[in-house]
Amino acid sequence: MSRPTIKDVARHANVSLKTVSRVINGEASVRDDTRERVQRAIDELDYAPDQAARNLRGATSHALGLVYDNPNPYYVISVQNGVLAACRDQDFGLQIHPCDSNAPDLADELRELVAHARLAGLVLAPPMSERMELIRYLAEHGIRFVRIISAAEDPNDGYPCVYVDDRDAAYDITEHLIQLGHQRIGFLWGGAEHRSSPERFKGYEAALKDYGIPLDKKLVIPGDYSFDDGFRGARRLFALREPPTAIFGSNDEIAAGVLAAAKANGIDVPYELSIAGFEDSPFSRQSWPALTTAKQATEDIARHAALRLIAELKPAGSGVLHVNRGFSPQLVIRDSTARVRTTTP
Examine residue 120 and state whether it is found in any structural domain, yes or no.
Answer: yes
On whether the pTM is more than 0.85, the answer is: no
Calculate mean pLDDT across residues 147-157.
Answer: 92
Range(s) of the domain holding residue 231: 169-295
Examine residue 246 and state whether it is found in any structural domain, yes or no.
Answer: yes
290 and 173, same domain (yes or no): yes
308 and 290, same domain (yes or no): no
199 and 285, same domain (yes or no): yes
Give the domain CATH number at 23: 1.10.260.40
Examine residue 340 and state whether it is found in any structural domain, yes or no.
Answer: no
Query: Is the Cβ–Cβ distance between 279 and 292 less than 8 Å?
Result: no
14-18, 67-71, 115-119, 204-208: least confidently modelled range: 14-18
- What pairs with residue 58 in β-bridges? none
Q: Check residues 54 and 321 and name the one with the higher pLDDT.
A: 321
pLDDT score, position 27 = 59
Percent of the chain beyond pLDDT 90?
61
Query: Is the Cβ–Cβ distance between 168 and 152 less than 8 Å?
Result: yes
111 and 208, same domain (yes or no): no
pLDDT tens, position by position, 270-281: 999 999 999 998
pLDDT score, position 53 = 45
Query: Quick check: 254 pLDDT over 90?
Result: yes
Examine residue 336 and state whether it is found in any structural domain, yes or no.
Answer: no
Examine residue 235 and state whether it is found in any structural domain, yes or no.
Answer: yes
103 and 148, same domain (yes or no): yes
- What is the residue-averaged pLDDT of the chain? 88
Q: What are the backbone dihedrals phi and psi of residue 75, each rounded to the nearest 5 degrees, phi first? A: -65, -45
- With a CB cutoff of 8 Å and minimum separation 6, the contacts of 37 are 13, 14, 15
139 and 180, same domain (yes or no): no
Residues in the chain: 345
Query: Quick check: 135 pLDDT over 90?
Result: yes
77 and 188, same domain (yes or no): no
Examine residue 74 and state whether it is found in any structural domain, yes or no.
Answer: yes
- What pairs with residue 331 in β-bridges? 294
Cis peptide bond upstream of 104, omega within 30: no
Please give the span between the terminal C-alpha atoms of the chain, in angstroms, as a whole number: 79
Of the pLDDT bands very low, low, confident and very high (cuts 50, 70, 90), residue 57 is very low
- What pairs with residue 149 in β-bridges? 163
Rounded Cα distance between 89 and 101, Å, is 29
51-55, 111-115, 168-172: least confidently modelled range: 51-55
Of the pLDDT bands very low, low, confident and very high (cuts 50, 70, 90), residue 41 is confident
Nearest to 228 by CA among 69, 74, 71: 71
Query: Quick check: 4 pLDDT over 80?
Result: no
Examine residue 55 and state whether it is found in any structural domain, yes or no.
Answer: no
Cα-only R_g, the chain: 25
195 and 243, same domain (yes or no): yes
217 and 283, same domain (yes or no): yes
Give the domain CATH number at 199: 3.40.50.2300
195 and 283, same domain (yes or no): yes
pLDDT score, position 19 = 79
13-22, 72-81, 313-322: least confidently modelled range: 313-322
- What pairs with residue 294 in β-bridges? 331
Query: Quick check: 52 pLDDT over 60?
Result: no
Examine residue 224 and state whether it is found in any structural domain, yes or no.
Answer: yes
111 and 132, same domain (yes or no): yes
Number of structural domains, the chain?
Answer: 3
217 and 319, same domain (yes or no): no
Query: Is the Cβ–Cβ distance between 304 and 147 less than 8 Å?
Result: no
Rounded Cα distance between 6 and 16, Å, is 10
